[in-house]
Amino acid sequence: MKLIAAILIVLLMVGCIGSKKTTESSVKRIENVKASKDSTSTIATNKKIQDQVIINVPKTDNKEVMDAVIALMERMNTSKISGSNSYKSTFDKEAMQWIVEFAVGQTKDVKTEVIDEKETEKTFEENANEYIKKTVIPWWLYVVAFIVAFPFIKSVILLFFPAAKLILPLRR
C-alpha cells in the first residue's frame, strides 16, 4: 500500500508539470495588377493638289480628218466632283489643246499606336508564431509532498541508499 501511495504521489507531482505548445499562423496574399495603356498618334497632312495637264492635239491639212478629230474631242468634255476631289476635261478648239484639270483635297493620315502594359505583383507573407506555455510547480509544493510522502517512501530510499540508515531511524 505504501508503494502504491508513493507511486501515485510521484505521478501526481510529475503529471502536473507540462507544457502546452500553441502555434498561431497567418497567411497574407496580396496581388496587385497594374494595367496601363499608352497611345501615340502620328498625323501626316498632305496639302491640296491642283494640277493641270495640257495635251496638244496634232493638226492635219485633211479637212475631213480634222472635223472628225474635233467632233471626237468635243465629246470628251467631262467633269466630276466628289467631296473635295474633282476633275474636269475640256477641249480648246482654237488652241487645239485638250485640257485636263485635277483637284485633290487635303488628306490626313492618322496612325495611332497603342501600347498595353500589364504589371502583376504578387506578395506572399506568412507569419508563424509559436508559444510554449509551461506549467511550473512551486518549490514549496515539493517540500509539502515530500513531508507527506516520506513515511511511505522511506523504505525505498533506504533500499537505494543503505548509508541513509545512519541518518534516518527506522520506525516500523
- Would you say residue 55 lies in a domain? yes
- Would you say residue 80 lies in a domain? yes
- Would you say residue 25 lies in a domain? no
Looking at residue 132, its pLDDT comes to: 73
Q: How crowded is residue 156: how many other Cβ atoms within 10 Å of its Cβ? A: 13
Looking at residue 18, its pLDDT comes to: 56
Q: Which domain holds residue 78?
A: 50-102
Q: Which residues pair with 18 in a beta bridge?
A: 135
Structural domain tally of the chain?
2
- Would you say residue 162 lies in a domain? yes
- Would you say residue 65 lies in a domain? yes
Looking at residue 88, its pLDDT comes to: 92
End-to-end CA distance of the chain: 14
- Give the pTM: 0.40
The SS3 call for residue 47 is coil
Looking at residue 101, its pLDDT comes to: 92
- Would you say residue 66 lies in a domain? yes
Low-confidence ranges of the chain (pLDDT < 70): 1-3, 5-22, 134, 136, 168-172
Contact predicate 19/134, CB 8 Å? yes
- pLDDT tens-digit series, residues 102-130: 998 888 888 888 877 777 777 777 777 77
- Would you say residue 62 lies in a domain? yes
